[in-house]
Structure 1
Amino acid sequence: MTGFEKFVKFVTKYVTLWVILCAVFAYFVPTPFKPYGGTIPWFLGIIMLSMGLSMTPNDFKLVLTRPKDVIVGIVTLYAFMPLVGLGLGTIFNLDPMLTVGLVLLGCTPTGTSSNVMTFLAKGDKALAVTVSSLSTIVAPVVMPMLLLFYVGKYLPIDAVGLFMSIIKIVIIPIALGLLIHKFFEKQMPVILKVVPLATVAAIVCIISVIVALNVERLQAVAGMAALTLVLYTGIGLAIGYTVARLLRMKAPKRKAMTFIVGVQNTALAVTLGITYFDPMSAIPGAIGVVWTTVFCSFVASLWGNKTEDAAEAAPPAQGTAH
């Protein structure tokens, strides 16, 4: 492993630490970051480009071989999570823009980090990858419709503008990444070594700018917003697991479903919140970047270790007589 590869591995391993450190710095020294609010869609584009570079046609083959599993994952995500956000906002009587932010987060597709969580938990990674990819591709149509239905009473929703924005900052970068992957296949091993570093840098930049733009708002609502995000994530994980259990899915699928529903594209929620609604609506997504990564990584690690322990405890298989 080269020095650069070791550096990338170190940076990606401690991404949560960098996010926390930069968020704290931006909170206490916000001025340098404030002029860069307009760059957030570009940083999200980098994240989506990275996703496209990491995707292959195989990521979609489950649609043909296991359509039921894929449909269940996507429908569960989009049917339940906006309701969870709206319900928590109503129960805690949150500021309307915080409620909008929670619903916005609930309307976002599965985050690519769900694939990592599923891998750590020794779940069905193919299912996680397919659902995260397809839920992202259908997002330009699904998200504006859900937002119009759930939060139209709080503020006017520019459904067409949202559709075009998601196409520009999500679909086009992913498509570009897929094209690069196809036409520069020989160079992909080198390109993919840089992709994780670019993704981490983009996430850190997004969070730093959002925190800087919301210092005063965070002082007023940080505690309540953090509490609702803790509940939101826990409920999302529980819904994913419960639906899979009710449908009698096997353990690897149950693990994948847990993270498919509980881990969403927080960066997209942040970007759309600050672009189309109000800076306060970006706070749930900003907190979610940190909390979802920390908590879900912990759950996935426990699950993965438990699976290993169970495998070690199982008696060795008996060979058949010849």
Structure 2
Amino acid sequence: MDQSPLIEIGLPIALAIIMVGIGLSLTKEDFAVQARSPWATIVGLVAQLILVPLVGIGVTMIFDLSPLLALGVILVAASPGGATSNLITYLARGSVALSIILTAIASIAVILTLPLWFDIGARVIPGATDYDVTVPLGQTFGLLLGVILIPVALGMLLRARKPALADRIERFVGVVGLVVLVALIVGIVLGERDRIVDLVATVGPAVIVLNVAVIILGGLVAWVCRLGRAEQIAIAVELGIKNTTLTMLIAFTVIGIEVVGLAAAVYSIVMYITTFVLVWGGRRLMRTAPLPASATPAGLAAP
């Protein structure tokens, strides 16, 4: 399908800016800290890259979604955490350092894992093969290399060379992300306006269950693995707050079917609603535990 220049050009540029923001949040010391004690990172990545996509596939089976909507749900589940997860983790008094590292590493890892999970989903969802919908590995790798890996590296380089400038730019990145997300959702609504109510009513319950399930999964897995409360919060948030901008970029530019991107649009709304519960629950959980130094970004006081 033909796409507007806003989607073909503006969306990748906007996502690249958002990923620069993640890079601006990273320093070599962040990686050094996690390298000295990598267990929390390993747990978070396994949950993010393996368990959450499996939950996504299970949700599509439970709700018996149409093939295209089901593929959209799997695409959301296979996507990494979003940059917003770092802010939500901070507000919920979780481990921000862990959240940033998980976002960065998962964003790079999905260059390979996302097409794999989408292909698995296309094979197991009844009727999906009739649509010949795929996420080509080569095209996706090139796209994500340009909008994720390189921008994150540039952000880290700027943070290392010009920390004061990096701080100022980082505040701007969050605004860009929100504006792009709202524009995408509006675009999907307009593009599917003749059947948007029916589609949302169909996929809405599935994405609500997916969001709540992966949040609970994150906290439970971290608890079973004997991680601290701050790490439990960080992983729960990371699994629940997705990079839906990336998901819609793939749906629009690689797959080229708006219906596939609808699940990401609805999930975006749902995850920002559950964010309030995450922040409230995290703060309650941390009342009886000291706030680790790593949970507060440099220059910010605990809220």
Q: Which of the numbers 12, 18, 37 marks the counterpart of 2:7? A: 37
> Can you give the 5+ residue segments of structure 1 that lack an aligned partner in the other structure?
1-32, 313-322
Matches within 5 A, 1:296-315: 296-305=275-284, 307-308=286-287, 310=288
Deviation at 1:252, TM superposition (A): 1.8
Partner residue in 1 for 2:264 = 285
Partner residue in 1 for 2:94 = 123
Contact in 2 for aligned 1:76/1:240 (Cα 8 Å): yes
Total equivalences in the alignment: 279
Alpha carbons of 1:186 and 1:117: their partners in 2 closer, same or farther (altered >3 Å)? closer
Deviation at 1:58, TM superposition (A): 2.8
Counterpart Cα distance in 1 of 2:194 and 2:23:
36
Determine if the alignment matches structure 1 residue 222 to structure 2 residue 193.
no
Q: Which of the numbers 10, 15, 18 marks the counterpart of 1:47? A: 18
Partner residue in 2 for 1:104 = 75
Moved more, 87-96 or 297-306: 297-306
1:103-123 CA-to-partner distances (Å, cap 9, x unmatched) read 111111122222222222222
Partner residue in 1 for 2:298 = none
Alpha carbons of 1:179 and 1:74: their partners in 2 closer, same or farther (altered >3 Å)? same
The one-letter amino acid of 2:192's match is N
1:6-32 CA-to-partner distances (Å, cap 9, x unmatched) read xxxxxxxxxxxxxxxxxxxxxxxxxxx
Deviation at 1:152, TM superposition (A): 4.6
Contact in 2 for aligned 1:81/1:106 (Cα 8 Å): yes
Counterpart Cα distance in 2 of 1:78 and 1:256:
15
The one-letter amino acid of 1:41's match is P
Q: Which of the numbers 144, 147, 156 marks the counterpart of 1:169? A: 147
Matches within 5 A, 1:246-257: 246-257=224-235
Moved more, 66-75 or 210-219: 210-219
Counterpart Cα distance in 1 of 2:20 and 2:289:
38
Contact in 1 for aligned 2:18/2:174 (Cα 8 Å): no
Contact in 2 for aligned 1:82/1:103 (Cα 8 Å): yes
Partner residue in 2 for 1:146 = 117
Larger C-alpha radius of gyration, 1 or 2? 1
Counterpart Cα distance in 2 of 1:255 and 1:193:
23
Give the TM-score normalised by the residue count of structure 2: 0.83
Counterpart Cα distance in 2 of 1:229 and 1:125:
26
Counterpart Cα distance in 2 of 1:141 and 1:50:
22
Moved more, 62-71 or 194-203: 194-203
The one-letter amino acid of 1:296's match is T
Contact in 2 for aligned 1:148/1:159 (Cα 8 Å): no
Determine if the alignment matches structure 1 residue 76 to structure 2 residue 54.
no
Contact in 2 for aligned 1:48/1:170 (Cα 8 Å): yes
Moved more, 257-266 or 101-110: 257-266
Secondary structure (helix, strand or coil) at the match of 1:138 reads helix
Deviation at 1:183, TM superposition (A): 3.3
Contact in 1 for aligned 2:94/2:282 (Cα 8 Å): no
Counterpart Cα distance in 1 of 2:138 and 2:57:
22
Moved more, 231-240 or 201-210: 201-210
Moved more, 280-289 or 135-144: 135-144
Secondary structure (helix, strand or coil) at the match of 1:215 reads coil
Secondary structure (helix, strand or coil) at the match of 2:134 reads coil
Contact in 2 for aligned 1:108/1:265 (Cα 8 Å): yes
Alpha carbons of 1:207 and 1:56: their partners in 2 closer, same or farther (altered >3 Å)? farther
Deviation at 1:191, TM superposition (A): 2.7
Alpha carbons of 1:93 and 1:311: their partners in 2 closer, same or farther (altered >3 Å)? closer
Alpha carbons of 1:296 and 1:203: their partners in 2 closer, same or farther (altered >3 Å)? same
Deviation at 1:178, TM superposition (A): 2.2
Give the TM-score normalised by the residue count of structure 1: 0.79
